[in-house]
Structure 1
Amino acid sequence: MTTNNSANVNSTNKQPAKKVTPYLAVFDLDETLIAADSASLWSAFLVEKGVAPSTLLQEEQELMEAYAKGQMDMDDYMQATLKPMIGMDNTAITALVSEFIVQHIKPALYQDAIERIEWHKRRGDTILVISATGEHLVKPIAHLLGADDAIAINLEQVDGKFTGKTTGTLCYQYGKVIRMKAWLDQQDTAFKGSYGYSDSINDLPLLDAVDRPFAVNPDPALALHAQMNEWTIMDWRHDNNILR
């Protein structure tokens, strides 16, 4: 993804030094920035609030088992987990998400993730969160973390109400790369290079697409791949007092 050659930045000729463009730091969300899966927590929250039936939890668990193996059909997952939101408007969903973030997301944040984001921000890097979770959750969580932008699964609305359907390319596996490239095409900045962080083998296409991949608390398949390719493996710890 490196878009320009920095070798001439310290050139000894008399030309003015070129402005150094920032790096792009791309973070997966679930099990990377937080010690949980936000979509699973959301499903449990909706059941707790009486918005979704308890049967959703068993269905969601079975789908997540397939996800861990890299075999989940994301269309099936989104159809199942978005069903409770059908007919609800932005105001209702926003209120639920705000309560959800306070109760379940803030306590799940990795301290090391917060510190890594701050490290990038001190350098002037651009922070992008990219997740295979609905935009109704990803965007406010990314805002909480101080990210510059977020890419997530887009949700369809008709007449201001959620239909339970998705739109566009699903932000999952290689779909993340497609969505990230489309996002890059819309940016005014030509990034000097890119960092990528994820825990999951599902994000192997994304990590292959960045200049500097990091495996964060990786699952066994990603850990093996990282070791074979001499990628940095990071062990991030959870502190449930973060941002309370």
Structure 2
Amino acid sequence: MSTPTPDDGIPGSPEDFLATWSASRGNLRRFLEDTALPPVDESTQRAAGEAAAAAAIAQAFDLELEDFTSGIASVSGAFEAAGSKHVNAPDPDIQQDAGTAAFFDVDNTLIQGASILVFALGLARKRYFRVGEVLPVVWKQVKFRVTGSENAEDVAEGRQQALEFIKGRDVAELVELCEEIVDTHMSEKIWPGTRELAETHLAAGHQVWLVSATPVQLAQILARRYGFTGALGTVAEVKDGKFTGRLVGDILHGPGKRHAVAALAAVEGLELERCAAYSDSINDVPMLSMVGTAVAINPDSALRKEAEKRGWEIRDYRSLRKAIRAFGVPALVGAGFSVLGWKWVKRS
């Protein structure tokens, strides 16, 4: 549509011409808005925005929008629990490799055994709750160690029990107890080999994050003690300094870790193909498979098979397992009887 001029036969002064042209433009705009292109209402705009976001998230992380949103809730909850994005600042003498990070599981990867069990028993010793209330947690851990797998029902039930334990409790009190439990009962359980791996990443200027189903306060204390960048964990909602008994995001178990790591990568600007992940459990394959370098640490039998099939590196720091692989069960049993026999002779 060409712009008319006074020479096109429109009578009157230049002011009349401008008024006429403005009116015609206004009429055209109203026609387009009201008839040809009606305005987009708020719900339609929201749906269009969500569709665009879902497409971007699917392309970047192969996740549904709902899963990514859950991950964002977990990450923001972790930041809020820590009081900042990172629990430790990077070494100023080390040039940082922006976009690169390492993600470490906690149980049997960073520490020997189950952190939640050590945590629960530590709280029971402090009479935070009764020993009888801890027994279901102990039973689930025993069942997991015997069967080598966790089922969704156990995870969901354990989550609900944990939330009920802390409902109405003071956050500062729990954090203080966590710090004491880490210092007195967890420090000696750290796998030296895993800690060296984490320190190698830090020395290369990489971020190092713990990603665990354990309570986020406990994971962040571990991260703070060992100089890691931060920690993502299961986040219990807090209001006015007390736990509400509700969950923020999802429990960081299995796919939950993948959702949280994807959200963290978006927030921190991480390039996942340049990142590494470490775990002992087949449940963490969703997280392991989203990074460029996956390493199985002290793997369960299912993860060992998966790692061998995918060509992932395997590191086993368990001395008994290493001894069995090196010398075989018969030789070790024979050596054990020899030692016992020698002790019996010395006592005779």
TM-score (normalised: structure 1): 0.83
Alpha-carbon shift at residue 110 of structure 1 (Å): 0.9
Which residue of 2 is the match for residue 186 of structure 1? 267
CA displacement at 1:75 relative to structure 2: 2.8
Distance in 2 (CA, whole Å) between partners of 1:58 and 1:99 is 22
- Aligned partner of 1:124 in structure 2 is 205
The Cα of 1:114 is off from its aligned counterpart by 1.5
> Which stretch shifts more, 24-33 or 56-65?
56-65
**Counterpart among 69, 72, 96 of residue 149 in structure 2:** 69
Contact 2:272 2:290 in 1 (8 A): no
Which residue number corresponds to residue 7 of structure 1?
Answer: none
CA distance in 1, matches of 2:202, 2:144: 35
Q: CA RMSD in A?
A: 2.1
Residue number in structure 2 paired with 1:11: none
Name the structure 2 match of 1:134: 215
Paired with 1:237 and 1:103, the residues of 2 have a C-alpha distance of 22
The percent of aligned pairs where both chains have the same amino acid is 27
Please say if 1:56 is aligned against 2:136: no
Identify the residue that residue 112 of structure 2 maps to in structure 1.
Answer: 35
Distance 1:87 1:20, change over 3 A: closer
Paired residue type of 2:183: V
CA contact (8 A) 2:100 2:270 kept: no
Q: Does 1:114 align with 2:195?
A: yes
- CA–CA distance in structure 2, aligned partners of residues 136 and 79 of structure 1: 17
Equivalent residue letter for 1:169: D
Aligned equivalent of 2:312:
231
> d(CA) in 1 for partners of 2:259 and 2:128?
33
Question: Are residues 56 and 171 of structure 1, via their aligned partners in 2, closer, same or farther at CA, if it must alter by over 3 Å?
Answer: same
Q: Which amino acid aligns with 2:205?
A: G
How many equivalent pairs are there? Answer: 221
Gaps of 5+ in 1: 4-18, 239-244
Q: Which moved more, 1:23-32 or 1:82-91?
A: 82-91
Distance 1:175-1:135 versus aligned 2 partners, 3 A rule: same
1:206 aligns with 2:206: no
Deviation at residue 178 of structure 1 after TM alignment: 0.8
Q: Which amino acid aligns with 1:70?
A: E
What per-residue deviation string (whole Å, max 9, x for no partner) do you get for residues 126-165 of structure 1?
Answer: 1111111111211111111211121111111122111233
2: CA distance, partners of 1:47 / 1:20: 43
Displacement of 1:71 = 0.9
Q: Do the aligned residues in 1 keep the contact of 2:101 with 2:270 (CA within 8 Å)? A: no
- List gaps (5 residues or longer) in structure 2: 1-59, 61-95, 320-348
Please tell me whether the aligned partners of residues 66 and 72 of structure 1 are also in contact (alpha carbons under 8 angstroms): no
Distance 2:245 2:122 in 1: 17
What is the identity, as a one-letter code, of the residue corresponding to 2:138?
Q
Whole-Å separation in 2 of the counterparts to 1:221 and 1:107: 27
Per-residue deviation, 1:66: 4.9
Q: Tell me, what secondary structure is at the counterpart of 1:186?
A: helix
- Structure that is richer in helix per residue: 2
Q: Secondary structure at the match of 1:44?
A: helix
Given the alignment, which residue of 122, 139, 160 partners 1:45?
122
Higher normalized strand content (fraction of residues): 1
Counterpart for residue 254 of structure 2: 173
Cα distance, 1:81 vs structure 2: 2.6
Any idea what SS the aligned residue of 1:129 has? strand
* TM-score, scaled relative to structure 2: 0.59
Q: Could you give the per-residue CA deviations for residues 162-190 of structure 1, whole angstroms, max 9, x where no partner exists? A: 12331113211111111111111111455
